Amino acid sequence: MRIIDRYITVEFLKVFAICIMGLILIFLLVELTDKIKLYFRYDPGAWAMTRYFLVKIPGYLFFALPLGILLGGMLSLLMMARRSELIAMQANGVDALSIARPVLIIGFAAGIVMFVANESVIPWSNGRSEEIQREIEGKRDTTFFKRNEVWLRSPDSITHIGEFDPANNTMEHVSMVVWNGDYNFLQRLFADKAKWWTDHWIFYGVNRTVRTPDGQYVVETVPSMTAPLKSTPEDFQRGERLAKEMNLTQLGEYINQLEQEGQRPDRYLVDWHEKIAFPFICLIMAALSVPFAIRVSPRAGGIAVGMAFSLVVAFGYYVVHTAFMALGHGGYIPAFTAAWAANVIFGLTATTLLLQAGT
């Protein structure tokens, strides 16, 4: 590493460390203001609240990292410009791209750290914080509510359930179509009610349409019968999992499971792509921090303007990214586009500004 690269790296890391600590403190204060109501309402004790905030720290770091990169790069370079160090570098043939190189390398490394953390620590942190909050609220066991309009798909059948009651292991208004290995229709069942008995379902008030071997269709009414439904009550009681509590592999498996059940996993596909796209924001923020710091006048309120500009850029990215994610979750645009659109817009902007600063 060249002396100049090492010097820029050290100056950047000094400011970056201060920014990260400040941002984490801000996040803690905001979270404390929001969750203090839990303390007064449930009186959980200081240790329970302390555990809650401790397990939230990895999540704070995850979201503070991109803004810390942007602030660290911009403020450290602005302070160097204020001391005329950037002018001295440029006078000795060091161009803007060479000045940006250490910052970009750190941004790239931070993106890798974000990706690894999002695959390991962050899902645990999000899940564990939710568990502690439920403990504080006295909800140690997950409560399941009635589920309406449940669809199930298997290799040989498709089932629609009007309502499932987990408290009594009963179903209302069940419709089931069964076919054979060659996808030939075998039977269609309509049941007013279904009840789980030990290891199988019993349908009650059944209207049944059966295809006979000679191709005829027979319609009959049956008071009760053993249902050819292989799913158990535990399959219906699976609560909706949050994407933030899963890594890429787990989220992919969950998407496959939803597809096998005949459900549309559009929302989770968007979140799956976002887990890959979002860490690139560190590199983008690093690239955005350099052109402004090089061009702005350090003696005309440059540091204050730099901080304001950093906050505007970060807020702008958040707004654009959130808007595209909402469109993706709603199914209006493809999942890939929703997750990567903000990166493309801000990445192209950063590249253009960086190239212009280097000329």
Asked if residues 125 and 304 have their Cβ atoms less than 8 Å apart, the reply is no
> Within this chain, do residues 15 and 133 fall inside the same structural domain, yes or no?
yes
54, part of any domain: yes
Asked if residues 9 and 108 have their Cβ atoms less than 8 Å apart, the reply is no
Distance CA 233, CA 271 (A): 28
> Within this chain, do residues 20 and 131 fall inside the same structural domain, yes or no?
yes
Asked if residues 282 and 65 have their Cβ atoms less than 8 Å apart, the reply is yes
250, part of any domain: no
Bridge partners of residue 161, in order along the sequence: 150, 174
Is it the case that residue 127 has pLDDT exceeding 90?
no
Structure tokens at 333: 């645009």
- Residue 155: phi, psi to the nearest 5? -60, -25
- Residue 197: phi, psi to the nearest 5? -120, 105
Q: Is 47 exposed, middle or buried (0-12, 13-18, 19+ CB in 10 A)?
A: exposed
Distance CA 223, CA 144 (A): 30
254, part of any domain: no
257, part of any domain: no
288, part of any domain: yes
Which pLDDT score is estimated for 143?
39
Listed residues 184, 214, 236: the one ending a domain: 236
DSSP-derived 3-state class of residue 201? strand
Listed residues 217, 236, 255: the one ending a domain: 236
**Confidence class of residue 275 from pLDDT cuts 50, 70 and 90?**
very high
43, part of any domain: yes
Asked if residues 52 and 125 have their Cβ atoms less than 8 Å apart, the reply is no
82-92 pLDDT, tens digit per residue, is: 888 888 887 88
> Within this chain, do residues 65 and 156 fall inside the same structural domain, yes or no?
no
Which pLDDT score is estimated for 4?
86
333-342 pLDDT, tens digit per residue, is: 999 999 999 9
> Within this chain, do residues 70 and 151 fall inside the same structural domain, yes or no?
no
**Confidence class of residue 135 from pLDDT cuts 50, 70 and 90?**
confident
> Within this chain, do residues 275 and 205 fall inside the same structural domain, yes or no?
no
Write the DSSP assignment of 231-297 as a string of letters. --HHHHT-PPPPGGGS-HHHHHHHHHHHHHTT---HHHHHHHHHHHHGGGHHHHHHHHHHHHHHHS-
* Listed residue (231, 184, 53, 29) closest to 125, CA to CA: 53
Listed residues 236, 256, 288: the one ending a domain: 236
> Within this chain, do residues 11 and 47 fall inside the same structural domain, yes or no?
yes
Distance CA 217, CA 264 (A): 33
> Within this chain, do residues 13 and 120 fall inside the same structural domain, yes or no?
yes
Distance CA 210, CA 207 (A): 10
247, part of any domain: no
Sheet holding 185-197, edge to edge: 147-154, 157-165, 170-179, 185-197, 200-211, 217-226
142-189 pLDDT, tens digit per residue, is: 434 445 667 777 778 888 888 888 778 899 999 999 988 788 888 999
> Within this chain, do residues 193 and 290 fall inside the same structural domain, yes or no?
no
Bridge partners of residue 188, in order along the sequence: 177, 209
> Within this chain, do residues 22 and 131 fall inside the same structural domain, yes or no?
yes
Structural domain range at position 158: 147-236
332, part of any domain: yes
> Within this chain, do residues 123 and 220 fall inside the same structural domain, yes or no?
no
> Within this chain, do residues 133 and 163 fall inside the same structural domain, yes or no?
no
**What is the pLDDT of the chain when averaged over all its residues?**
85
Distance CA 307, CA 73 (A): 11
> Within this chain, do residues 83 and 45 fall inside the same structural domain, yes or no?
yes
Residue 142 DSSP code: P
How many domains is the chain built from? 2
